[in-house]
Structure 1
Amino acid sequence: MNLSIDVNETDILLEITVNGEIDAYTAPKLRDTIFPLSEKNGVNMVINLSGVSYMDSTGLGVFVGVFKNVKANGGQFKINGLSGRLERLFEITGLADIIDVNSQIEGEVK
């Protein structure tokens, strides 16, 4: 399955919408697209996964790396739009306790 990544950047927010499946085949494309964006100082990044039907550990690895980079550069990072299956994946791995999957970042439109 293909993966599509849409990036919408404003002065205060970087919104990324991901659609498709995130696995060993598509994770490099995801990483190559969003990792450079995470290097901006003070970036407020929100990733919407409502269109993601499947994700494996390689996808989780991408998000952990991007999260660490955003935090190291003084930014905020949030993931929203998780299906029940993806939410459970974040909970089981303990990432839901580390990565913000709930609250709203300033400037984000619900």
Structure 2
Amino acid sequence: MNITIDVQDINSRVEIQVKGEIDAYTAPKLRETLFPLSEQENISMVVDLSDVSYMDSTGLGVFVGLFKSVRSHNGEFRLVGLSERLRRLFDITGLAEIIDINSDAEGGLK
């Protein structure tokens, strides 16, 4: 199970492209890469999940934590490029009502 995380930090806007699967094995890498960025004041963090093929509850936990951290530092957090399957996961858990999500392809960073 592999994950690739590409981070582009442009001023106070961070764009992250995640590729692969987010599960119990890869979530710690995602967390350790993104959490330090989430603690910057007034950060705008956009995470593109258009190349994520699978995510379990461990991945959801990482994004909830990131969302809370970014918001507690007066920042903005957004997920883009969600597949129908990932979007349904956020809908079922009620997180789609809390986290800014754009599942349209044009919402991605590409």
Partner Cα distance (1:101, 1:43) in 2: 17
* Runs (5+) with no aligned partner, structure 2: 103-107
1:25-64 mapped onto 2 (5 Å cutoff): 25-64=25-64
Partner Cα distance (1:30, 1:51) in 2: 14
Detail structure 1 runs of 4+ shifted over 3 Å in the superposition: none
Cα drift, residue 12 of structure 1 = 3.7
Partner SS state of residue 101, structure 1: strand
The code of the aligned residue for 2:58 comes to T
TM-score normalised by structure 2 residue count: 0.92
CA RMSD for the aligned pairs? 1.6
Cα drift, residue 11 of structure 1 = 1.4
* Runs (5+) with no aligned partner, structure 1: 103-107
TM-score normalised by structure 1 residue count: 0.92
The code of the aligned residue for 1:23 comes to D
**% identity of equivalent residues:** 64
Partner Cα distance (2:92, 2:46) in 1: 21
The answer for the alignment partner of 1:5 in structure 2 is 5
Partner Cα distance (2:13, 2:42) in 1: 10
> How many corresponding residue pairs?
106
Greater share of residues in strand: 2
